[in-house]
Chain A
Amino acid sequence: MDRGIAAFPLVVVLSFALCAAAASWHSFAASSMNSMLMHGLLAREDVDSGVLEPLTQPGITDGFQCWDADSTRGKIELSRGACARLNSDNSLAAQLPILDGTVLGKSFPQFDYNSILFPLSACPSAPIGTPNLALTLSPSAARSPTSCLQTGITTSIRLLENLILTSDTNVSSAVPVVATAGFLDAQASLIVASDIQIIAGGDLHIRRLYSGQEPHAITLISGTGVVLIEEVDPKLRLRVAAWLGAFLPAGATLDSQIPLPKPLATQVLGLSIPR
C-alpha cells in the first residue's frame, strides 16, 4: 500500500512527461513540415522576383533568349525560367527602303502589332469565309478564318479579319492606317489621298496603287508574308517591309526615310513553372 501510494504520483508524473514528450515531438514534426511549406512559399517569391531581373540589366543579347533564376530556402531549391524575344540591332534595316525578311533574317524588325491593331475596328459587312482571291496565299503567312469586304475607306481600319477590296477603292485623306491581322487583297485600284501605312499580318496584295497629285509616302508591311504590288503610281514614295519578300513593279519610287511603325523592344514570351 505504502509503495503503491508512493508510486502513484510517479506514474502520473511519468505520463505527464510522456505527454509533454509527445507534444514536443509533434510540435517538432509539425513545425518542420510547416516550415518546409513556408520555405516553399518563400522560395517561390524569390524566383518570382528574380526571374525578370535580367531584362532590366544591360548586356543581354538580342534575339530569342531564355534564362533561369534559382532560389534556396531551407531544404527547398527552386528554379524558374523565362524566355523573351529581344529586338535585334536594326541599324542596317533602318537604312533600307525595302526590308526583306528572307535577306535580313533575325535583323528583320519586330513591330508592335498590339499598338498597330488597337483599337480594333468592326468588319463593315458581315464577315465571310475566304472567297476566291486574286493572289495565291503564302502557306506560312498569317491569315484569319474570316474576311471583310469593303468598298470605300473613310476612317482608319484595324481588323482581326482579312480585308478584301473587290473594286476600286478611294482612301480618304483622313486615314493614316489600314491594318489587318490577316491578309489584305486589293483586287482593283487603291487610290490614296495622303501619307498612309498599309499593314497586313499576312500577305499584302494591291493590284494598282495610285494617288492624286501629291507624292505621298506609303509604308507597306507584311509581318509574315509577301508584299505584292502589280502597278504603282511613280509619284508615290514607298517603304516596304515583308518577311517573305517584296515584289514591286519596275519604276516604283523607294524612299528609306519614310518612318516605319513603332518597333517592338521586348516580347516576353513566358515564365516557366517553378521546379
Chain B
Amino acid sequence: MSAPGYCLPDLLVSILVAGIISTACAKLAVDCSQSLMNAQREDRRTAILLKSEILAGDSVRANDTSPWNIGLRIHKHAKINFSDGSLNPVMQGNQTLRPKSGTDALTSAALVTKHSILLVNSSRHGSRLRATACPRWQPLVATPAYKSFLGLLPDGFIELIADQRISSLQQCRTLSFSFNRSMIAGTSSPEALLSIRALVPISHIHTLYVDRRGQLRLISHQGQRNIENQPLVEGLNKFTVKQWRASLHPLSGISLLIGTSPREAVNVSFASRLSRVPSFNFLLNRP
C-alpha cells in the first residue's frame, strides 16, 4: 500500500511537519504583506500630509512677499469666490473639479515689490487705464514677464491686467491695463483707476482646494480667469483652514487641519514672518 521505502507514519510526520512549517511561513508571509501594506499606507499618508503642509506653508510664505493686508483669503465651506462675493468659475464647471463639501480653500498672492512701478499721467477709458509707467527703484532689465499687477490706492488695492506682458522697463513707457474681478483685491469704481500711483507685479495668485475626489488641487488666477487647475496630491479627506492673529504682537498666520481619513487629522500652524501694516509708507514715501 505504502510507497517503496516509506512507511505510513513517516509520511504522516512529513506531512505534519510540512504543514506546520508552511502554515507558519504562510502566516509570516501574510503578516509581512500586511505590515508592508500598513507601512505603505502610513508612508503614503505621511507623504500626503508633508506635501500638503509644504504647499499650505508656501501659501503663507507667498503672503510674506509684501507686508500689507492683502494676499491670504480663506474660502470657508467649499465656496470659492472672488473678492466681490461672486462665485469663481470652478464652482460652476466640471462636477468632479468642484470643491469637496466640508473642506475650505486658501487663496494666496505672491507679489514682487522690488519690481514696483510708478504711474504718472494716467487717463481712463471706460474700465481701462492708460498711464506712463516708470521703474520705481532701478531699471527692470530682463525680469520675468508680468501680466497682472496690484494697483495701490490709499484706501485699498485693485488688480490690473496689462494688455501685454511686461518683461523689462528700462525707462518710462506708456502702458495700458484693464481691470475686472479679482480673487484678492476688492473691486473698485473705474474712477479709482486714476488714483493709482504704484503698481506691484503679481508673480502668482493661487488657490489650494480639495476636489470631490479628494485631490488637493491648485488653481492659478489672472483677474477673473482661472488659467490652470492642477492636481497636486491625492487622498485628502479633510482640509480646513483657520486664520489666527496673535493678541500681544502684530503676527498672524493660519492653522490647517489636514487628514487622509475623516477620523484622523493633523493640525499644523504657520506664522507670517512679517507683521501686517498698511501700505501708506510704500505709497507715500519716495523713492
List chain A positions with a Cβ less than 8 A from chain B.
1, 5, 8-9, 12-13, 15-16, 19-20, 22-23, 26-27, 30-31, 33-34, 37-38, 40-41, 44, 48, 51-52, 64, 66, 80, 83, 85, 101, 105-106, 108, 110-114, 116-118, 129, 139-146, 160-161, 181-182, 201, 223-224, 243, 264, 267-274
Whether B256 sits at the interface, judged by CB under 8 Å, is no
| 0 or 1 for each of B40-80: is its CB under 8 Å from A? (1 = yes) | 10011011001101100110011011110000000000000
Query: A101 to B286, Cβ gap below 8 A?
Result: yes
A93 to chain B, nearest CB (A): 14
B286's partner among A1, A118, A243 (CB-CB below 8 A) is: A243
Q: Which residues does chain A contribute within 8 Å of B22, judged by CB atoms?
A: 8-9, 12
Query: A181 to B286, Cβ gap below 8 A?
Result: no
Query: B113 to A19, Cβ gap below 8 A?
Result: no
Q: Which residues does chain A contribute within 8 Å of B58, judged by CB atoms?
A: 44, 273-274
Query: A181 to B154, Cβ gap below 8 A?
Result: yes
Query: A22 to B274, Cβ gap below 8 A?
Result: no
A106's partner among B18, B122, B287 (CB-CB below 8 A) is: B287
Q: Which residues does chain A contribute within 8 Å of B113, judged by CB atoms?
A: 83, 269-270
Interface size on B, residues (CB 8 A): 67
B267 to chain A, nearest CB (A): 16
| 0 or 1 for each of B123-143: is its CB under 8 Å from A? (1 = yes) | 000000000000001100000
Query: B195 to A145, Cβ gap below 8 A?
Result: yes
Query: B65 to A37, Cβ gap below 8 A?
Result: no
Query: B195 to A34, Cβ gap below 8 A?
Result: no
Report the separation of the CA atoms of residues A116 and B14 in the bound assembly, to the nearest whole angstrom. 96
Select the stretch in B184-192, B210-218, B258-266 that faces chain A: B184-192
Query: A110 to B285, Cβ gap below 8 A?
Result: yes
Report the separation of the CA atoms of residues A64 and B44 in the bound assembly, to the nearest whole angstrom. 46
B206 to chain A, nearest CB (A): 10
Report the separation of the CA atoms of residues A144 and B188 in the bound assembly, to the nearest whole angstrom. 12
B138 to chain A, nearest CB (A): 8
List chain B positions with a Cβ less than 8 A from chain A.
3, 14-15, 18, 21-22, 25-26, 28-29, 32-33, 35-36, 39-40, 43-44, 46-47, 50-51, 53-54, 57-58, 61-62, 64-67, 110-114, 118-122, 137-138, 153-155, 188-189, 191-192, 194-195, 197, 203, 273-274, 277-278, 280-287
With A66-B114, A108-B286 already in contact, the answer to whether A12 and B21 are too (CB < 8 A) is yes
Pull 25 A–B residue pairs with CB atoms less than 8 Å apart, ordered by A: A12-B26, A16-B25, A30-B40, A33-B43, A37-B50, A40-B50, A41-B57, A48-B61, A64-B114, A108-B286, A110-B281, A113-B283, A113-B284, A113-B285, A142-B195, A142-B284, A143-B197, A224-B283, A243-B286, A267-B282, A267-B285, A269-B113, A270-B64, A270-B67, A273-B61
Q: Which residues does chain A contribute within 8 Å of B119, judged by CB atoms?
A: 140
A203 to chain B, nearest CB (A): 12
Report the separation of the CA atoms of residues A34 and B54 in the bound assembly, to the nearest whole angstrom. 12
Q: Which residues does chain B contribute within 8 Å of A272, judged by CB atoms?
A: 65, 112
Closest 5 pairs between A and B when the two form their complex, measured CB to CB: A12-B25, A30-B43, A181-B154, A223-B284, A113-B280
Query: A40 to B54, Cβ gap below 8 A?
Result: yes
Query: B120 to A274, Cβ gap below 8 A?
Result: no
Query: A142 to B32, Cβ gap below 8 A?
Result: no
Report the separation of the CA atoms of residues A13 and B25 in the bound assembly, to the nearest whole angstrom. 7
Q: Which residues does chain A contribute within 8 Å of B57, judged by CB atoms?
A: 41, 44
With A1-B3, A12-B22, A182-B154 already in contact, the answer to whether A20 and B32 are too (CB < 8 A) is yes
Query: A16 to B29, Cβ gap below 8 A?
Result: yes
Report the separation of the CA atoms of residues A31 and B277 in the bound assembly, to the nearest whole angstrom. 42
Report the separation of the CA atoms of residues A144 and B153 in the bound assembly, to the nearest whole angstrom. 7
Q: Which of A110, A144, A145 has the most CB of B within 10 A?
A: A145
Report the separation of the CA atoms of residues A117 and B285 in the bound assembly, to the nearest whole angstrom. 13
Query: B280 to A34, Cβ gap below 8 A?
Result: no
Query: B47 to A271, Cβ gap below 8 A?
Result: no
With A9-B25, A16-B25 already in contact, the answer to whether A23 and B121 are too (CB < 8 A) is no
Report the separation of the CA atoms of residues A158 and B278 in the bound assembly, to the nearest whole angstrom. 14
Query: B273 to A48, Cβ gap below 8 A?
Result: yes
Q: Which residues does chain A contribute within 8 Å of B29, judged by CB atoms?
A: 12, 15-16, 19
Query: A41 to B53, Cβ gap below 8 A?
Result: yes
Report the separation of the CA atoms of residues A179 and B284 in the bound assembly, to the nearest whole angstrom. 12
Query: A114 to B274, Cβ gap below 8 A?
Result: no
Q: Which residues does chain A contribute within 8 Å of B39, judged by CB atoms?
A: 23, 26-27, 30
B116 to chain A, nearest CB (A): 8
20 further A-B contacts with Cβ under 8 Å, apart from A23-B35, A48-B273, A264-B285, are A9-B22, A26-B39, A26-B43, A30-B43, A33-B47, A37-B54, A83-B113, A83-B114, A110-B285, A141-B197, A142-B154, A142-B284, A143-B154, A144-B154, A144-B155, A145-B192, A181-B154, A268-B274, A270-B66, A273-B58
Query: A34 to B43, Cβ gap below 8 A?
Result: yes
B119 to chain A, nearest CB (A): 8
A13 to chain B, nearest CB (A): 6
Query: A117 to B195, Cβ gap below 8 A?
Result: no
